[in-house]
Chain A
Amino acid sequence: MPLRKGPVLHEFRKNSLLYLMFIPVAAYFIVFAYVPMAGIVVAFKEFNYRGGMFGSPWNGFTNFRYFFLSGKAWLVTKNTFLYNVVFLGCYTFFSITLAIFIFEVESRWFKKVSQTMLFLPYFVSWVVVNAFVYNLFNYEYGLVNTIIKTLGGHAFDIYRNPATWHFLLPVFYTWKWVGFGSVLYLAALSGMDHECHEAAIIDGASITQRIRRITLPLLRPTIIILILLGVGRIMRGDFDMFYQLIGNNGRLIDATDIIDTLVFRSLVGMQDFGMASATGLYQSVLCFAIIMIVNSFIRRYEKDYALF
Chain B
Amino acid sequence: MKPRRSRDVARLHTIAYIAVSLFAVFAVFPFVMLLINSFASEHAIINYGYSFWPRELSLSAYSMIFQSPQKMMRTYGLTIFITTAGTLLSLFFSTMAAYVLSRKELRYRNAMSFFLYFTQLFNGGLVPYYILISKNLHLQNSLLVLILTPMFSVLNILILRNFVANSIPASLFESAKIDGANEITLFIRIAIPLSTPAIASIGLLTALGYWNDWWTPMMFIQRESMYPLQFTLYQLLSSINFAAAMVNSLPVINMPKESLKLAMTVVATGPIILVYPFVQRYFVKGITLGAVKG
Does A associate with B in a complex? yes
Name the segment of A73-81, A185-193, A246-254 touching the other chain. Answer: A185-193
Residues of A within 8 A of B208 (CB): 122
| A36, A188, A226, A276: the one within 8 Å of B128 (CB) | A36
Compute how far the CA of A131 lies from the CA of B285 in the bound complex, rounded to whole angstroms: 39
Question: Counting chain A CB atoms within 10 Å of each CB, which of B151, B201, B204 scores highest?
Answer: B201
User: Is A39 located at the chain interface by the 8 A CB criterion?
Assistant: yes
Q: Given A25-B94, A110-B17, A193-B289 in contact, is the A40-B125 Cβ separation under 8 Å?
A: yes
Q: Given A53-B131, A184-B201, A187-B198 in contact, is the A221-B162 Cβ separation under 8 Å?
A: yes
User: How would you classify the secondary structure of chain B's contact residues: helix, strand, loop or mixed?
Assistant: helix
Q: Given A39-B128, A123-B268 in contact, is the A25-B26 Cβ separation under 8 Å?
A: no
Interface residues on chain B, number (Cβ under 8 Å)? 107
Chain B nearest CB, measured from A119 CB (Å) = 7
User: Is A301 located at the chain interface by the 8 A CB criterion?
Assistant: no
Contact B182 A17 (CB under 8 A): yes
Contact A131 B167 (CB under 8 A): no
Compute how far the CA of A304 lies from the CA of B101 in the bound complex, rounded to whole angstroms: 12
Chain B nearest CB, measured from A59 CB (Å) = 16
Q: Which partner residue on chain B sits nearest A129 by CB separation?
A: B30
Compute how far the CA of A112 lies from the CA of B99 in the bound complex, rounded to whole angstroms: 29
Can you give 20 A-B contacts (C-beta < 8 A)? A21-B99, A25-B97, A26-B115, A28-B152, A35-B132, A98-B20, A103-B284, A116-B276, A118-B23, A121-B31, A128-B265, A141-B49, A178-B27, A184-B201, A186-B283, A190-B197, A190-B284, A191-B194, A222-B166, A307-B113
A residues contacting B by CB (< 8 A) are 11, 15, 17-19, 21-22, 24-26, 28-29, 31-40, 42, 47, 52-53, 94, 97-98, 100-106, 108, 110-125, 127-129, 131-132, 135-136, 138, 141-143, 175, 178-180, 183-184, 186-188, 190-194, 201, 204, 206-208, 221-222, 225-226, 229, 232-233, 273, 276-277, 280-281, 284, 287-288, 291, 304, 307-308
Seed contacts A40-B125, A120-B27, A222-B166; 6 additional CB < 8 Å A-B pairs? A21-B183, A115-B276, A186-B197, A188-B197, A191-B163, A288-B122
